[in-house]
Structure 1
């Protein structure tokens, strides 16, 4: 909970930081747009006042004006040094009385009519004395053009006469570019000022939205942008300023704060996963503690029973309470049987401990599989007699397999002991061997209730026993099959449980590298 609260507070602080940075960037963009608007609009309106020098010559003898004279008296660079004759279609002198018009080039009828129509509209900015200026666009469609007009006004603020330039629309774009390239839109001449091309992209469009000039190169829409529209006396052009992504690091100390939400989510996920893992480990540790406790109790019980038997029959012999040689022999057989049982249990515990510490080693040697299994089966004579069990051998006699004999004995002791322990009294236990390709298998069948298919892997885990066996109080340490699997694994083999042909369970151990006697020369075997 504390981690979640801290993460929320960090996320909230990050959000506020980003909002403050974004607000500052929006303000910078709006400020740059206002600056560009003011400078560009001023340049448009007052730029035509550069004709003052040639205006007097035009007005002294208007009756002597010719197109060539007008062209020579009105400079190509009057409006802006960035312009040339390529961007100027015509230079004009006009008088509204009688619609007198002298032009350095022929105007299209459409342009002629539009020129006079715009002059009748009261959209002029007062410049000096009786003189006013205006800009207007002719046609948004095909072949548009722009007029820049300087007119002498009467007392009713209506044009009397004046001069004008008919321009290509790009001329307005070139004037916009000259301001963009020369005058910083932020911080003026301050040392903090950066070139505009490092901070902003700009675009200029006609009043109807047709692009005239742009520094933008496509890509994703800008995150911070501002639009302005020029005054109608300046042509009502639409202009926009957008912040470049590279400007963020220049305007915000340390750059734009990066969102921490993904990091916080990952952190919360890691903490959550660690917490879940810790809970799983604690739960597993608790389960292991219980399993170890059950294991200790089971082993104690397993040890107590044979020890009690050994002690009882030993005292009987020592006190001379046997009544015949048959009873004496039976007592000694029981002592021997329980001693073997104790030895097997102790060996299991030691083997399990060495396996857990990775200290267990085996030394496989070529061995007659049937002979070794038969010998081991014979050692169970007393145990099977006590259980009234019938042990049947189904052995393939000619198998040679590389095994560690002590390990094989321990494997067989565990498998047969399980079969006798979990099967009914008087059952038949079958021990079999066979060769499958180059692997030798040994199996033990019982006639017990079998092992459910869903539980057949789990019973090979340490300390695992079937719940039905716990309910029936069947004794067992829970490590026998775990030891079997580990010993077989160290030989490179595998173990599994399947249904026995006559009912009950069949536990199978498979050892690789087997061959039929005489089919292959004996070899030296070693396992690291």
Structure 2
């Protein structure tokens, strides 16, 4: 028996293992797809970050060039008038101011200039033209300028010239001025962001001579310069933008080294996921630059777009697969349980049939061989044969009814019926079977009740309820049967003295093959189909069936049917009612 069980469980174990393997492979494939999507997304994000880095580099180069060009055009006029050997001819701050405001020098970045200055390196004297700066601002300008020459290098070429062939002839410049001589510094002084721009001129030995410069508002200085840069360059190749306006995808911000925004290209802020930071050289105030790609448009710059996360879809797919595998395992277990229940059913029915057949055969042989000595013994043998034949008939009818129910072919022919007489006939038919268990049947039948039922089905319902009460109650018990009318219903109840039915299992007892745990372990026989037949036949009559506690202990099984009036008694029979799913 154990070997047979092992053989039956082996295919199930293999099937479960295959289902779990399929689930594992699905999980592995989902992980690989997720990893591939994550790698693809990381590559696309790196490409977008590289685009932002390229735009930041372009901005740095062009902004540096624009600042240098702006300062050269501003300071070239006073520088041409500096004679290293005649300091008295050096232009004053007022001369510098007047020259810088004449065409073609005037530019928008000069509109915020508050004062111009000249710093004489011979005696550290500073002269100012324009607004009078506060002592703190003046000290900041002086300190800033005085610290600058230490980072300048003297070029190998000592002779410089300026001019053009189509206007004034080129003249030798008597001072040294290189690109790193032009310096801009930005800082917050007196609660305002300020920029000081200046140029340091040196003699041929590299010694500083005179510095010219101006102090201005940082924003009014930076915004025109960066606006010019942005107007002349897209910062990204046009083939990459593919018709997208630069300001729709790119944002540029310039800030002072210690905080404070001086320029913003976008009219309004937009969410950014790809931002690159850079800074200008020290000679241009070390201004910080931030170039950002708009997160919701930036994916259009990547071929195929920025891949979306596949995690929700893959999790959903894995969950669906896991659910299907779980459902398959549950269904398989149910099939195994159903198969076991059917095995138990066949075993139970075989046992139920074998007992009456053995009794019939025994007493038939005794009668045939003339081994019974008295007429009383022969009558008793005939009585036992008759009782066991009725028992066999009851069992066969139950099996046939269950088979019809399983295939949806159970039918009833309902007609108005006198319930009292049919109930009494069913009780009388079951009496011999009750005597076998030494059980007594006490009936309380209300006369005159009429219901539209099938007489054969009613007898089967009553006999099955009585058999269930006698089988699972104690020996010698009294089973109470009651027929009563309650409103528009006819109610039949059967009470036993058994242990009762737990509340959690009262709906399950009407299912095929179901037996209570204690009944499966007890010696009481049973096929497990009696109450399921009762439930099916009651349903076909539009009735109800339920279990409740009996007043004196035990269980009380109740069924009811729609009540008919006396005037309907004797009316023609109704059309047969097929079971649900039955075919004609």
- Shorter-chain TM-score tier: 0.7 to 0.9
Partner of 2:447: 397
Change (3 A) 1:361 1:197: farther
Of residues 166, 173, 186 in structure 2, which corresponds to 1:137? 186
Per-residue CA distance 1:342-383 (angstroms, 9 max, x = gap) = 332233223323333333344544444444322322222332
Q: Does structure 2 retain, via aligned residues, the 8 Å contact 1:291–1:463?
A: yes
Question: Partners of 1:63 and 1:296 in 2: how far apart?
Answer: 122
Task: Report the Cα offset of residue 416 of structure 1.
Answer: 0.7
Aligned residues of 2:115 and 2:128 also touching (Cα < 8 A)? no
Q: Render the CA deviation track for 1:120-172: whole Å, top value 9, x for unaligned.
A: 23178899852632222252563333233345444545361535462451441
SS of the residue 2:391 aligns to: helix
Task: Give SS of 2:192's match.
Answer: coil
The residue that corresponds to 1:207 in the other structure is 257
Match of 1:92 in 2: 116
Uncovered stretches (5+) of structure 1, i.e. residues with no partner: none
8 Å CA contact 1:395, 1:433 repeated in 2: yes
Closer, same or farther: CA 252–188 of 1 in aligned 2, 3 Å: closer
CA distance in 1, matches of 2:486, 2:152: 107
Moved more, 466-475 or 323-332: 323-332
Paired residues, number: 519
Could you tell me how far 1:480 is from its partner in structure 2?
A: 0.7
Structure 1 residues 247-266: aligned runs within 5 Å:
247-266=297-316
Shift of 1:476: 1.2
Measured after TM superposition, the shift of residue 477 of structure 1 is 0.8
Tell me the equivalent position of 2:102.
Answer: 73
Shift of 1:14: 3.9
Q: Identify unmatched segments of 5+ residues in structure 2.
A: 1-20, 83-88, 161-175, 579-584
Are 1:43 and 2:52 counterparts?
no
CA distance in 2, matches of 1:171, 1:516: 106
- In the other structure, the counterpart of 1:120 is 146
Q: TM-score, normalised by structure 2?
A: 0.75
Please give the per-residue CA displacement for 1:481-514, whole angstroms capped at 9, x wherever unaligned: 1222222334444433333333333222234x44
Task: From the superposition, tell whether residues 171 and 445 of structure 1 become closer, same or farther in structure 2 (CA, over 3 Å).
Answer: same
Aligned CA RMSD, in angstroms, stands at 4.0
For the residues of structure 2 that align with 1:432 and 1:314, how far apart are their CA atoms? 37
Q: Separation in 2 of the partners of 1:355 and 1:182?
A: 88
Question: Could you say which residue in structure 1 is the equivalent of 2:212?
Answer: 162
Q: 1:31 aligns with which of 54, 57, 60?
A: 54
Alignment of 1:331-480 (within 5 A): 331-397=381-447, 399-436=449-486, 438-480=488-530
Mean Cα deviation higher: 198-207 or 165-174:
165-174
1:102 equivalent among 125, 129, 148? 129
1:13-53 per-residue CA deviation (whole Å, 9 max, x = no partner) reads: 44444443443333333333222222212222222223478
- Per-residue deviation at 1:393? 1.0
SS of corresponding position for 1:388: coil
Q: 1:501 to 1:100 in 2, by over 3 A?
A: closer
Gap change, CA 1:275 and 1:223, over 3 Å in 2:
same
Match of 1:184, SS state, is coil
2:223, 2:541 → 1: CA distance? 86
Aligned equivalents of 1:49, 1:133: Cα separation in 2? 8
With the length of structure 1 as denominator, give the TM-score of the two structures: 0.82
Task: Go from structure 1 to structure 2 and tell me whether the alpha carbon gap of 1:172 and 1:297 turns closer, same or farther (over 3 Å shift).
Answer: same
